[in-house]
Amino acid sequence: MIQLDHVSYTYDGSENALADISLNIADGASLALIGANGSGKSTLMKIISGLTIPSSGVYRLNNEEITEKKLKDPRFSRMFHKQIGFVFQNSETQLFCSNVWEEIAFGPLQMGLTVQDVQARVTEIMDLLEISHLKKRPPYHLSGGEQKRVAIAATAVMNPDVYLFDEPMNNLDPKNKSFLRQFISRLNQSGKTIICSTHDFAYVDDLFKKAAVFSETHQLVRLDDYSRVLADRDFLTKMNII
């Protein structure tokens, strides 16, 4: 269970990037984060993933407050990051190894699994994402769609409970969008929590039960059934979303 209690965040001490957000996300939820550019969706995901710490307010994961001090403890940090996987908006910034196999094996090797276990996990995940043929390629020479699959594989190989997807459909062709839609849907059906920002509503239909809508003033203005939010065209227009 993810609990945000009056969370605000400012990058440089000036304006809020998130303003007083209170939000609970239950285990197994599928939540879309919707809002105009700059409304705070990526910032919220950075907080949930522990990449940034709230400037004020409290973030709890499974009833435990997540603080900078705790995240500096290697044991706590490993346990925390094992639970939450983050697929960045821009895959390039996420990929740093010299080939795809190493990229996907990096997390499991850090966890101290045996080489055999790592090999088995990496092979399985590459099969699942249909990227086995790319295993020897350097990630920075791959196409955007291929990079996205590798970034997802590097996250999924850790088997986190919570997946954060930051605009995963960006720049994907229709076939890749359908593939990813199905992949995310299956994760959710298997009990994983899905939190996903999106501007691309055509390909994510039916994926989300709930939507959290953020305003250009960085507030959470509506938490409702996804289908109800999407049907409310006047509201979406007013929020500068369509």
Ligand X SMILES: Nc1ncnc2c1ncn2[C@@H]1O[C@H](COP(=O)(O)OP(=O)(O)OP(=O)(O)O)[C@@H](O)[C@H]1O
Q: How far is the CB of 74 from ligand X (least distance, A)?
A: 26
Q: How far is the CB of 144 from ligand X (least distance, A)?
A: 16
- Spatial separation of the C-alpha atoms in residues 240 and 242, rounded to whole Å: 6
- What is the total count of residues that contact ligand X (CB under 6 A)? 11
Buried b / exposed e along 33-48 (16+ C-beta atoms within 10 A): bbbeeebbbbbbbbbb
Q: How far is the CB of 35 from Mg ion (least distance, A)?
A: 9
* Helix, strand, coil abundance in the chain, percent, nearest 5: 40, 25, 35
Residues in the chain: 242
35 binds, among ligand X, Mg ion, none (CB under 5 to 8 A by kind): ligand X
With respect to ligand X, which residue has the nearer C-beta, 37 or 190? 37
Give the strands of the sheet with 18-25, arranged side by side. Answer: 18-25, 2-9, 56-61, 64-65
Judged by CB under 6 A, the chain residues 1 through 60 that form the site for ligand X are 11-12, 17, 35, 37-43
Judged by CB under 5 A, the chain residues 174 through 233 that form the site for Mg ion are none
39 binds, among ligand X, Mg ion, none (CB under 5 to 8 A by kind): ligand X
Judged by CB under 5 A, the chain residues 14 through 53 that form the site for Mg ion are 41-42
Coil, strand or helix: which one is 228?
Answer: helix
Judged by CB under 6 A, the chain residues 69 through 98 that form the site for ligand X are none
107 binds, among ligand X, Mg ion, none (CB under 5 to 8 A by kind): none
How distant, in Å, are the alpha carbons of 35, 112, 175, 184 from that of 197?
A: 8, 32, 20, 13
Q: Which residues of this protein are in contact with ligand X, per CB under 6 A?
A: 11-12, 17, 35, 37-43
